[in-house]
Amino acid sequence: MSLALLLTFIQFQIVMAFTPGPNNMMVAASAVNFGFKKTIPHMLGIAFGFSFMFFAAGLGFGKIFETFPILYEILKIIGFIYLLYLAWKIAQFKADVESEIKTDEAASQPFSFLQALMFQWANPKAWTVLMISITTYTSLSLSTPLWLQVTILSFISFIVTLPAVCTWTFFGSAISPLLQNTKLRKIFNITMALLIVMSVVMANYFAGDF
């Protein structure tokens, strides 16, 4: 693989990783409601989950979806419904700062590492980025074996994704003191939920699915 090809892939990954999407909106909302430290498992789950999905899909799932496109459509529908559920959950985050301390902790918890990792398989933006990456930046005609191409690209995706979600988490943590007012925090949570839904709709629109 040429250096020029890798640089263009890195540029593409940076743009896609740092722009608003379900993952970034969710970690920002999590940091506002739970703090930076409690959102770390969520961040790591996103980075490891997406890079693993990239590797697995690049080596086989892409071909499966080409052979059985109905599976991709079913997964996309399930992912969209699940994202609507997550958006609703974010909108329902406890807005009263004082009551958060008194209520049952199980009522509102940040994503765990495993939850964030598994969520990538239902994230339409992740699938869009993955499919574009595999079809654009890998080739059977290159001297580098396909498995090694996919390994390199998945590693780069991890290196780029982690600082991206860290940035959005830091943003959420930084503005949290400004949202100590119950009404302002509730407005923020609802706004994040709406942005998650909007990002999913836009991802599907630009992919030509709407």
Calpha distance 159→51 (Å, rounded): 9
* Residue 113 maps to a domain: yes
Calpha distance 113→110 (Å, rounded): 10
Sequence-ordered list of residues with C-beta below 8 angstroms from that of 57, at least 6 positions apart, any chain: 130, 134
* Residue 126 maps to a domain: yes
Mean pLDDT value across residues 172-182 = 80
* Residue 121 maps to a domain: yes
State the pLDDT at residue 121. 86
Q: How confident is the model at residue 116 (pLDDT cuts 50, 70, 90)?
A: very high
* Residue 110 maps to a domain: yes
pLDDT at 97 over 60: no
The pLDDT tens digits of the residues spanning 13-62 come to 888 888 778 899 899 989 988 999 999 999 999 999 999 999 988 777 65
Calpha distance 94→193 (Å, rounded): 14
Helix%, strand%, coil% for the chain, nearest 5: 85, 0, 15
Q: Is the pTM of this model over 0.95?
A: no
Q: Round the average pLDDT of the chain to a whole number and report it.
A: 78
Q: What is the full DSSP assignment across 123-172?
A: -HHHHHHHHHHHHHH--TTSSS-HHHHHHHHHHHHHHHHHHHHHHHHHHH
* Residue 88 maps to a domain: yes
pLDDT at 209 over 90: no
State the pLDDT at residue 98. 42
* Higher-scoring residue by pLDDT: 102, 181: 181
pLDDT at 106 over 50: no
* Residue 132 maps to a domain: yes
pLDDT at 189 over 80: no
Q: What percent of the chain has pLDDT over 90?
A: 24
How many domains does the chain divide into? 1
Residue 128 belongs to domain spanning = 38-206
* Residue 177 maps to a domain: yes
* Residue 7 maps to a domain: no
Contact between 37 and 30 (Cβ < 8 Å): no
pLDDT at 100 over 50: no
Q: What percent of the chain has pLDDT over 70?
A: 76
State the pLDDT at residue 149. 86
State the pLDDT at residue 78. 72
State the pLDDT at residue 103. 38
